[in-house]
Amino acid sequence: MTEQLSPERASDDHASTLYAKLLGETAPIAWQELQPFFARGVVLWVAAALDLIAVALAVAEDDKASISAWLAAGQVNALSAAQAEDLLARDPPLWAVVVAPWVLVQERTARAELH
């Protein structure tokens, strides 16, 4: 007998699969490699307090409520010129994941590197 998935369960399974896919596509990147994407205006900065992959999942699934809340709180934003200058000066370790057309970027922190 085949088990029927409820819509909620199917949605959870899809989200889990997509989360794992995005996690596998996340990689360290240097600011120098991101500069062309910044010039095109497609870099979204994700605050260190957020899970980069959860934000990428919300973008991929067009979760307007979550994205709007993060934008309003300043936890996700289009990378500004001032932020770009800071990244150029400091050259910190960064994580990035692509959810076309966006490149979501987050500074790697000691907390993040432990996971």
pLDDT tens track for 13-24: 767 888 899 988
In a domain, 10, yes or no: no
Instruction: Give strand ranges (E) for 6-70.
Output: 27-29, 43-46
The answer to whether residue 6 scores a pLDDT higher than 70 is no
What is the rounded distance in angstroms from the CA atom of residue 52 to the CA atom of residue 97? Answer: 8
Domain-embedded: residue 56: yes
- Predicted confidence (pLDDT) at residue 46 exceeds the cutoff of 90: yes
Decide if 78 is inside a domain. Answer: yes
Percent above pLDDT 90 for the chain: 72
Q: What angle do CA 78, 58, 7 make, to 5 degrees?
A: 165
Q: In the chain, how many domains are there?
A: 1
- Opening angle at CA 48, ends 113 and 114, nearest 5: 15
Answer whether residue 22 is part of any domain: no
pTM of the model: 0.81
* Residue 65 forms part of a structural domain: yes
Please report the pLDDT score of residue 15 as a whole number: 76
pLDDT of residue 48: 95
Tokens at 100, concatenated: 């076309």
Range of the domain at 67: 27-113
